[in-house]
Structure 1
């Protein structure tokens, strides 16, 4: 038993000596490190059916770089790299958010107010990370690390012409390996590359909520010149209402003349061309060319329904001046019809 004990002790001695040989005898080699955080980029609630897009929004990068050398000022070039995001895998220009159904909303990230896309080293599609250069002072005699802090702005923009994107909540998560920090340091000239990968990340979220929305426009319904004598024939004309709603938003369109008729039966009044004229011209609005189905404002009874697809949908309004009931003075007559879209 004593022999085995001596043998084990003898084996330990060379290992102990080797460990002691590797302990540093003086100050450690200079090391520079950088950390960063990025705030969330939130577009909020956006309406896209009019073909435009939301206003640009911004996020803020805060970074800190330290130097633990007590003898040298470090010249440092730091690159803050951004990739494609968890939901936008493989999409860099543009980047994309997704909702839970897999629908995509396109966006892009830029550096401050410039047109430079915020990318990453080695990415052929978006190769430009945000770069910061700095001189980091040496460590103080009291042991405090040399330190430089900074702030940078990231700008996000939604791409235009995304009216077909369905309503919902969209996101792209840049946590994990979708961001990185690389740097190169020198005690002489400022480096021109960023080669050393830092352990820290600066993950952030990009979010937007696409709202249900509709846009409506209407062309005038012009009957032209009509016969104002009793027993005259009816005068028919048509017009177009264009409704653009998000996909797949159900909607109804109601028409209400200025007299608040619920059945599309209005009257045009003189525009003032003939002093003292109080005559009126009756008309009615219809949903079909045969003018058998009136177009009013009783939902489900005499309104028109549709489902949005993100594009303009044309609806025809069929109008008729009732000639048999006319007996009016020559003049110009006019009425205003309110178009209401419920969705």
Structure 2
């Protein structure tokens, strides 16, 4: 009696994989790969303004050496799994910063497909014809993009990075003297590595989004000490955790916020006013040009979202020539 023994085989794909066509038994073709001197730096100046869309392209270069005296064909398949600090291989991926905070990003192939390690997300080159004892070099451009919708604007100051170098293997498939049908999912392979790092740096920064006028209304000439305000006079966004100090400077550049409005017809008549940071009468000026030296400004801490600040104005007397009066105030943000 005879028994038929059936063996089952399975292929385990390890994170960050590079599949390269080669004859593993004879090593007649040897292939290697490298990414951008091993580091892809998305940006050194990530702020809430560009945290959702900053991007850069990285060049993944691959080389195949034909060690035989006859020409051979090879096909290169490039894939990437998870990083050493994050096991996510779908969209999004993450780079990690201070206190384990993260930035979401994606790696995209030239055809717009997300780069991964599954059969439908690797990059496979056309068959390469390699002459005898010759090296063939080519490359593919990968786009690295920060993604909206994952809280990137809430990132705090610091360097964010992830190393794609843990258990990442190169899977090398058979080559042939003829242009046969190559594929990324079948074949005999060798293992190798091509580690690289993805990083970005979040910096402290502030941006004024919008400003709104303070309208004081109409008053008789006998009116004294009247006040106006606007609780959305300043709308700004600063990096999460970034301390800031806002100074206000009237057009006459008075460091204590004592400005003068001019009539809008002749610019000859003046109406003094005082800038304030609250209804209690605290002076709001601009007596310094840095966070530390500005002592009559308004301090705060960014949270990555839009924040508003109310500006108050008081006018000691309306006893001037009737007309419309205005002045322009400069906002100085120190961080």
Matches within 5 A, 1:7-22: none
Matches within 5 A, 1:59-78: 59-70=58-69, 73-78=71-76
| CA distance in 1: counterparts of 2:314 and 2:60, whole angstroms | 64
Give a deviation string over 1:143-192, Cα, whole Å, max 9, x none: xx354321221221112362210010111111243353443434353223
| CA distance in 2: counterparts of 1:201 and 1:318, whole angstroms | 63
1:157 is matched with 145
Looking at CA atoms only, which structure, 1 or 2, has the larger radius of gyration? 1
2:46 is matched with 47
What SS does the aligned partner of 1:267 have? strand
Q: Is the 8 Å Cα contact of residues 215 and 228 (structure 2) preserved in structure 1?
A: no
Give a deviation string over 1:216-256, Cα, whole Å, max 9, x none: 232111223233x1345624333421232112111111111
2:115 is matched with 118
| CA distance in 2: counterparts of 1:153 and 1:131, whole angstroms | 13
Unaligned runs of 5+ in 1: 1-27, 140-144
| CA distance in 2: counterparts of 1:201 and 1:80, whole angstroms | 11
2:308 is matched with 314
Q: What RMSD over aligned residues (CA atoms) do the two structures have, in Å?
A: 2.6
Matches within 5 A, 1:1-343: 31-39=28-36, 40-50=39-49, 53=52, 55-70=54-69, 73-112=71-110, 114-121=111-118, 127-137=120-130, 139=132, 145-160=133-148, 162-178=152-168, 180-186=170-176, 187-195=178-186, 196-216=188-208, 217-227=210-220, 229-232=221-224, 234-240=226-232, 241-272=234-265, 275=266, 278-289=268-279, 291-298=280-287, 301-322=295-316, 325-343=317-335
Structure 1 residues 265, 188: CA separation in 2 closer, same or farther (over 3 Å shift)? closer
| CA distance in 2: counterparts of 1:66 and 1:301, whole angstroms | 67
What is the Cα deviation at residue 131 of structure 1?
0.9
What is the Cα deviation at residue 78 of structure 1?
1.9
TM-score under structure 1 normalisation?
0.77
Unaligned runs of 5+ in 2: 1-24, 288-292
Normalized per residue, the structure richer in helix is: 1
Would you say how many aligned residue pairs link Structure 1 and Structure 2? Answer: 298
What SS does the aligned partner of 1:177 have? coil
Structure 1 residues 58, 121: CA separation in 2 closer, same or farther (over 3 Å shift)? same
| CA distance in 2: counterparts of 1:174 and 1:88, whole angstroms | 9
Q: Is the 8 Å Cα contact of residues 109 and 154 (structure 1) preserved in structure 2?
A: yes
1:14 is matched with none
